[in-house]
Structure 1
Amino acid sequence: MNPIIAMLKENNIQDAQIRELFEIMTQNPMAAMATISQLGLPQDQLQMLMAQVMQNPALLKEAVNELGLDFSKVEAAKDQLQK
């Protein structure tokens, strides 16, 4: 299991919420940040999650694939943010 998804599950985040978070991320990464903050993760867990993503961005792609979502939407959203 992807470590991001595993950490969310360890913090009692429901599968539906995890899927919704990644769906939001594929559409609007900035909105995903707000959604993550609303999950009520302890600050240390949130920092660990962000550090994992920063050190290994491929984890996001793995998580999106594991959930059966379209990673190309993440790339498109990222391109829009860089413009």
Structure 2
Amino acid sequence: MVTLLADGWHGPGPWVLVFPLFWLLVVVLVVTVLRRAAWRRRGWCGGGEHAPLAVLGRRYAQGEIDAAEYRERRGVLTEEHRADGGKR
């Protein structure tokens, strides 16, 4: 090792950190994309304000429907969601 340092080789330098950080970034991006795709597929996001539960919640908040009707319709929507295994 002494001869290598004496010959002018000073070790791997800062590049030794670039490759692990690159792969960490790749893994984080893949996980983020997969989670977002799963959320959209399950209706947790992506439907935005036009998703059935969001529309129902907005109508209840604005006073268009009362609490009993809200609970009844929400039960129908969530039961339908559970009955088909989460697929739409």
Same fold per superposition (TM over 0.5): no
TM-score after normalising by structure 2: 0.28
